[in-house]
Structure 1
């Protein structure tokens, strides 16, 4: 039987309304219970309230009309929760209070355990409140991508090829990936290439990070290819996928796709290079059925400059309750995590350019080569 710690209190918060009636705002009552594995349940109540708002860690804000909400903290620590009750649709009259809680049974630590050997200190990095940098590559060296930090995935995952009717082979050659002048270049090119008896007419590179993470923030600053037919992606997979040729093998499981979960932080449309996609793929834990959710936005929607001529920041913020995908800190798409979604296991990062296929589309005969250029990759927890 689950044992709960229960803390109940009532805060009387009375304000004078600036209105003709001079009525007073109703008292806001708040109760909460702490459950297992970082869970907190909050119940807020105020007479005549039309909306409740709850603010948790990492600026996660939720609203509902019931006043009841469950939230799971990924890390141990002390937290301040904001609770509002609104009494009109314009949210002009409200009551507000904060709750101070200590979470001692979450899965993660209150501060990230940092292995300094994994930190590239060659340049200053962005500081985010509540996060510590735990792994990064600033690409301030020359030659092949660091073999300490990156794994080339080049063995076809099935049938001599890759998913989604893609038309490339991946290689570990410098022709397809190298570091110079402070950036990583992933090069897709037209050439005949045969691997395991399978002949393709395009080559590229697909890198796996040798670091994996459950909850946190990932930042990738990148400039995208401009050629039609290219399909660049910055994305994650669960370490338990058991995919052929990946860095993790079956060490953490062999559940396959989509049971492992996939988070597409950024994909660029092959036929419209001003379109960016953020997408989630998973298998329902209850039924086993495939599910997905995502959004497509243009550079105009996001109010950003051209993505093929300029570098932009592609980010994921991942908590036990919510995953946000961002471009230059502007929301691309977000997904609330329910009990049937498998986003509760460590993921690793992938960087690649596919050719053709579902999203790459038609490759023009004039295509020769193009690249995705990456300034840095940073993991925070």
Structure 2
């Protein structure tokens, strides 16, 4: 509500562990059912605690949005380069049809998004199928990030449902949208 306006037809939502709990490495699991309606942009992601974006590091365990008008599931990581606010991305994108053609009920089911993150790599899964593996020996920041590796620091978790933008123009007939989270679990070695 940064702008003065009499009303908003809809707003985005977010839950974050920022300033509450951060994690360095481990297994992250989220069981969720995501909205697939046009205009929805659900995500499960992390950001590093230090530096500004993208030098802080971003891990997208799951994003769902439109690419050239076609719905996609994404599993990504981003870090800083030589220009401010210009990220280097390691991205895996699959059209939603990859999941819905073999299972027409895919969108009505809960799914498990998982990240296995250790000193060597970030591995991103959907229902135990590896979507992307990012080796950490290639993820060092550029000069703005002091050549540090943003994935060798603690990250906090974000769960959000954005509306519009990459999700496309929202479909008013699809409201209310439900982004249902059954659980969020983080497992770490002692």
Distance 1:310 1:215 in 2: 28
Distance 1:201 1:316 in 2: 34
**CA contact under 8 A between 2:70 and 2:95: conserved in structure 1?**
no
Q: TM-score, normalization: structure 1?
A: 0.41
Q: TM-score, normalization: structure 2?
A: 0.79
Q: Does 1:278 align with 2:75?
A: yes
**CA contact under 8 A between 1:230 and 1:354: conserved in structure 2?**
yes
Report matched runs for 1:317-356 at 5 Å. Answer: 317-338=116-137, 340=140, 341-356=149-164
Equivalence for 1:15: none
**CA contact under 8 A between 2:33 and 2:179: conserved in structure 1?**
yes
Distance 2:98 2:3 in 1: 45
Q: CA deviation at 1:291?
A: 0.6
Equivalence for 2:65: 269
Runs of 5+ unmatched residues, structure 2: 141-148
Distance 1:278 1:298 in 2: 12
**CA contact under 8 A between 1:232 and 1:268: conserved in structure 2?**
yes
Larger proportion of helix: 2
**CA contact under 8 A between 1:316 and 1:323: conserved in structure 2?**
yes
Report matched runs for 1:71-90 at 5 Å. Answer: none
Equivalence for 1:259: 55
Distance 1:259 1:309 in 2: 36
SS of residue paired to 1:269: strand
Equivalence for 2:13: 205
**CA contact under 8 A between 2:99 and 2:106: conserved in structure 1?**
no
Change (3 A) 1:299 1:290: closer
Q: Deviations over 1:120-158 (max 9, x none)?
A: xxxxxxxxxxxxxxxxxxxxxxxxxxxxxxxxxxxxxxx
Change (3 A) 1:302 1:324: farther
Change (3 A) 1:307 1:345: farther
Change (3 A) 1:196 1:296: closer
**CA contact under 8 A between 1:223 and 1:307: conserved in structure 2?**
no
Equivalence for 2:143: none
Equivalence for 2:177: 370
Give 1 or 2 for the bigger CA radius of gyration. Answer: 1
Q: CA deviation at 1:201?
A: 3.0
Q: Does 1:314 align with 2:122?
A: no
Report matched runs for 1:174-323 at 5 Å. Answer: 195-199=1-5, 200-209=8-17, 210-240=20-50, 255-270=51-66, 272-273=70-71, 275-284=72-81, 287=82, 290-298=87-95, 301=98, 305=103, 306-323=105-122
Q: CA deviation at 1:367?
A: 4.2
Change (3 A) 1:343 1:354: same
SS of residue paired to 1:343: helix
Higher relative contact order (CA 8 A, sep 6+): 2
Report which stretch shifted further, 264-273 or 227-236: 264-273
Distance 2:42 2:106 in 1: 12
